[in-house]
Amino acid sequence: MQLTILGNSSGGPFHGRHYTAQVLQVENHTFLIDCGEGTQMQIFKYRVKVDACNQIFISHLHGDHVFGLIGLLTNWSHKKRSQPLHIFSPPGLQELIETTIRVCGIKPSYEIVFQVVDPSVSTKIFENAKVEVWTIPLHHRSPTSGWLFREKVKPRNIRPEKIEAYNIHFSAIPAIKAGGDFDLPDGRVISNAELTVDPPIPLSYAFCSDTTFSEAVIEVVHGVDLLYHEATFIEENAREAIISFHSTAAQAAEVARRAGVKRLILGHISGRYADTAQHLAEARAVFENVEIAEEGGRWEVEGDRPPFLLRQLDTTSKHEMHLTHKEFKMGEKDKNEAAKFVRISKFISQILRHRPEKIGLQLDEQGWAKVDELLEKSAAKGTHFDRALLQIVVDTNDKKRFVFSEDGLRVRASQGHSIDIDLGLKPQKPPETLWHGTAEKSLESIRKEGLRSMRRQHVHLSKDRQTAENVGRRHGKAVVLTVCTGEMARQKHKFYLSENGVWLTEEVPVEFLDFPE
């Protein structure tokens, strides 16, 4: 489960902040939560994929939470979207959208289904195979609903040693993971309790904006892994919070403390505050595990530790990064230099990962090449570049494919080798779930054989779905497979984490893959 913050502002786009919008990824399912003005700009800025989103959840009809919606809906129509879209909200949104569509002459290419919720109670309003969504009654000036996302219970995990002990055929495993016992040929019945262990505890995320301090919220969000709670004001302005039906940072922290959540993130910050230091200080005096929901932050929710900030998304494009280097600018007038850079990068990748012999280069056992030797032998074979350009290739590669040694005298590829080298990586425990991006044309063979390393040493797995989708797109129409890596590890499959954050394993049998619906 991953949460990306697109906007965290209240009232206006002040101090570089933007109106409320978030994207929640639960395995292969994408959910958009609120859609304030400018949401599309934030989506493009942080390169977040939302076109596969089929459900949008709007908390209430105040402009800073909804005025970006009509633009997004129109954009999808321009892209000839055909998949129906379900929008959940308190009453009134359908009238707003349909009136705008009529007045502006918009002709949607897809069906928009408006799902009206009752914001005064907590009830389940959506579910699919992986997750269910509940309303959270919030107390604001207009009817407002929060949203509680809970994963469904996964199948039980079979004990690998029991498969061998009882000679359990592969075809019987799904029924056992679903809770069934196992019948032996001699008539004995092996109980499921002996054969399996409990699955991971389902993950949960709660979104609460806008609202005053509420006992009802505490009850509904009890024990969630990650809570987003509005913190429009600090204590100095507590009276204004009461008048405007908002919360202070300390009140949000009190909700988190009494609800026993694992981590709290604060948002919906008033434009009167240039920074959020005071919000954070007042909240941490009440509840320790609290952060600001900074825009571009991608939060990872895992079962074995509190939610954590996976990374702050980089908004700098490749072109912008290259423009910062005086020796290599990628402006419109420098297309030849840009082409040269791409060619050099691909050349280095081929040499360090696949064919060092092409230039007579000798890598050591761990894949390291001497920088001076790489430059000299490349030039001897007609490919000229200097240390400065090599430094740019290493520093600006968006996948961090290359790395220098600590003394800067050697360089190597971080992963992806087809030649036999030992990166010196030690086995590590993977997350419960990772992702693999591939092309639609490869699905048939994967369904039969699983994921194999083919010409490479390892199968490559991504730590988030968006990265996997980007990888898959390089090979054709992208398809993202969910990999049950936690279960694989329990069945003694080994995993390694490369220096550039790619998870590696020798193979992924088909029984550990979840294919898109």
Say how many CA atoms lie within 13 Å of 392 toward its Cβ: 24
Q: Is the pLDDT at 448 greater than 70, yes or no? A: yes
pLDDT band at 317 (very low <50, low <70, confident <90, very high): very low
Q: Any idea which of 63-72, 90-99, 144-153, 406-415 has the lowest mean pLDDT?
A: 406-415
Cβ–Cβ under 8 Å, residues 62 and 20 = no
Does residue 73 sit in the same domain as residue 141?
yes
Structural domain containing residue 463 = 434-514
Domain boundary among 413, 442, 460: 413
Nearest-angstrom CA–CA distance, 470 and 412:
23
Q: Give me the mean pLDDT over the 225-236 stretch.
A: 95
Does residue 463 sit in the same domain as residue 498?
yes
**Whole-number pLDDT of residue 249:** 96
**Whole-number pLDDT of residue 155:** 83
Q: Is the pLDDT at 436 greater than 80, yes or no? A: yes
Nearest-angstrom CA–CA distance, 40 and 42:
5
DSSP 441-472: GGHHHHHHH-EE-TTSSSEEEBSSHHHHHHHH
pLDDT band at 10 (very low <50, low <70, confident <90, very high): confident
Task: Confirm whether 429 is domain-assigned.
Answer: no
CATH code of the domain containing 388: 1.10.10.970
Nearest-angstrom CA–CA distance, 416 and 352:
10
Q: Give me the mean pLDDT over the 492-512 stretch.
A: 88
Does residue 353 sit in the same domain as residue 306?
no
Of 267, 237, 236, 273, nearest to 252 by C-alpha is 267
Does residue 361 sit in the same domain as residue 409?
yes
pLDDT band at 235 (very low <50, low <70, confident <90, very high): very high
Task: Confirm whether 428 is domain-assigned.
Answer: no
- Please name the residues in contact with 344: beta carbons below 8 A apart, sequence gap of 6 or more: 383, 385, 389, 393
Does residue 106 sit in the same domain as residue 238?
yes
Nearest-angstrom CA–CA distance, 254 and 238:
14
pLDDT band at 178 (very low <50, low <70, confident <90, very high): confident
Task: Confirm whether 443 is domain-assigned.
Answer: yes
pLDDT band at 245 (very low <50, low <70, confident <90, very high): very high
Does residue 307 sit in the same domain as residue 373?
no
Cβ–Cβ under 8 Å, residues 126 and 133 = yes
Number of Cβ within 10 Å of residue 320's Cβ equals: 11
Task: Confirm whether 420 is domain-assigned.
Answer: no
Q: Give me the mean pLDDT over the 175-179 stretch.
A: 88
Task: Confirm whether 427 is domain-assigned.
Answer: no
- Tens of pLDDT, residues 356-370: 999 999 888 888 999
514 is catalytic: no
pLDDT band at 305 (very low <50, low <70, confident <90, very high): low
Does residue 112 sit in the same domain as residue 239?
yes
Across the chain, mean pLDDT equals: 86
- Tens of pLDDT, residues 24-46: 999 889 999 999 999 999 998 88
CATH code of the domain containing 507: 3.20.170.30
Which of the residues 34, 64, 210, 225 is marked catalytic? 64
Nearest-angstrom CA–CA distance, 343 and 147:
48
Does residue 124 sit in the same domain as residue 21?
yes
| pTM for the whole structure | 0.61
Q: Give me the mean pLDDT over the 263-279 stretch.
A: 92
Q: Is the pLDDT at 319 greater than 50, yes or no? A: no
Does residue 241 sit in the same domain as residue 116?
yes
For the chain, the domain total comes to 4
Task: Confirm whether 421 is domain-assigned.
Answer: no
Q: Any idea which of 123-127, 224-228, 257-261, 337-341 has the lowest mean pLDDT?
A: 337-341
Give me the percent of the chain exceeding a pLDDT of 90: 52
Q: Is the pLDDT at 391 greater than 80, yes or no? A: no
Domain boundary among 284, 312, 340: 312
Three-state DSSP at 381 gives coil
- Please name the residues in contact with 102: beta carbons below 8 A apart, sequence gap of 6 or more: none
DSSP 183-216: E-TTS-EE-HHHHEEPPPPPPEEEEE-S----HH
- Tens of pLDDT, residues 102-143: 999 999 999 999 999 999 999 999 999 889 999 999 999 999
Does residue 145 sit in the same domain as residue 111?
yes
Task: Confirm whether 458 is domain-assigned.
Answer: yes
* β-sheet bridge partners, residue 267: 230
Domain boundary among 382, 413, 444: 413
Does residue 292 sit in the same domain as residue 253?
yes
Task: Confirm whether 28 is domain-assigned.
Answer: yes
User: Residue 279 is which amino acid?
Assistant: H
Does residue 119 sit in the same domain as residue 219?
yes
Q: Is the pLDDT at 52 greater than 50, yes or no? A: yes
Quick check: bond before 514 cis, omega within 30? Answer: no
H or E element at residue 481: strand 478-483
Q: Where are the alpha helices (DSSP H) in 327-399?
A: 335-353, 371-380, 387-396
The residue ranking higher by pLDDT, 323 or 128, is 128
User: Residue 262 is which amino acid?
Assistant: K
Most confident by average pLDDT, 169-173, 348-352, 402-406: 348-352
Phi, psi of 203 (to 5 degrees): -90, 160
